[in-house]
Amino acid sequence: MYLNKIELNTKKTKALLALRNPNLIHGALASHYPEEPILWRIDEIGSKRNLLLQTEHLLSFSPLVEQFGKENHGAATVNLQPIFNLVKEDTQWKFRLKANPVYRTVNKKTGRKAYCHYMNDKDRLAWLENRSEKNGFKIDSVHISSIQNIRFKRNGSQVSLAAVTYDGILTVTNQELFLHTLEHGLGHGKAYGLGLLSLAPL
């Protein structure tokens, strides 16, 4: 697995639009890398906006740099395998996750199912806590560092996402489950920059 970083050029109109409409990056990834499952998100560090992309294979991201990045700045790439090799049960890690915490409801009249956003931090934190064990970890400490409400049109329909960024410390409880979570992400909305769980040593 590889983690690739592209610094977005916010002087480019397309990059600015992508900050509000993740469907632009989703479309670019689907067009240029149709066979590669890619987890991604946009991180804000001060005034910088970094596009992070986790891939199974080593890829060239020149098309994305050309569309969204800075000229003469390629994608910085890190091999994640050395980090994944250190992931064992009872190890502690700093983590960041940008996710779309939702719950499912059923319209009693129509029987149609729909996803709804949680409206307070207590429920958003409980959403992550409730999913930790089956994904191979437990939460030691966590806080919500940002919330972004995203709305865009897809095939004529309105899409609404609540991008909640969680930062904290976790302990691995099941190595196999946790590695699967790292590789495949957590929650809904992965095509739109959500679900990527990233680690850093304590």
pLDDT in tens, 191-201: 999 999 999 99
Give me the domain span that covers residue 52.
2-79
> Do residues 117 and 192 both lie within one domain?
yes
pLDDT in tens, 46-101: 889 999 999 999 999 999 999 999 987 889 999 999 999 999 999 999 999 999 99
Tell me how far apart the alpha carbons of residues 16 and 160 are, in angstroms, rounded to a whole number: 19
CB neighbours of 131 closer than 8 A, spacing ≥ 6?
A: 186, 187
> Do residues 89 and 127 both lie within one domain?
yes
Q: What is the CATH number of the domain that holds 17?
A: 3.30.70.1200
> Do residues 110 and 165 both lie within one domain?
yes
Strand segments, DSSP code E, in 10-136 are 39-45, 48-55, 76-79, 92-99, 102-106, 113-117
